[in-house]
């Protein structure tokens, strides 16, 4: 018999998590594919990066972990990897 009765403790996670960083509304909803050298360049020079889909944004504006990948970027990315 493998099943052992585990008491399920229901941890109520904070239902409405708001980080201090999310006060601005312009956080990208998607992850965009950006070339690595552009990210480095942006980090050094403070320039905006151009994603594969053509979206431009400062590298400081990162989508949050768990955000979906931008479908346009995904498509371009795939077409580049023939």
The residues of the shown chain that bind Zn ion, judged by CB under 5 A, are 32, 51, 53, 55, 70, 72-73
d(CA 47, CA 40) in angstroms, rounded, equals 10
Between 49 and 51, whose beta carbon lies closer to Zn ion? 51
Distance in Å, CB of 31 to Zn ion, minimum: 8
CA dihedral (37, 40, 46, 48) positive or negative: positive
Distance in Å, CB of 35 to Zn ion, minimum: 12
Distance in Å, CB of 29 to Zn ion, minimum: 10
CA of residue 28 relative to chain centroid, distance: 7
């Amino acid at each position: 018999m493998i099943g052992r009765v585990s008491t399920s403790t229901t941890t109520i996670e904070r239902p409405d998590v708001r980080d201090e960083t999310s006060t601005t509304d312009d956080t990208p909803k998607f992850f965009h594919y950006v070339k690595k050298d552009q990210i480095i360049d942006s980090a050094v020079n403070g320039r905006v990066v151009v994603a594969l889909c053509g979206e431009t944004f400062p590298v400081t504006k990162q989508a949050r972990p768990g955000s979906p990948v931008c479908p346009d970027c995904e498509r371009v990315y795939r077409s580049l990897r023939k």
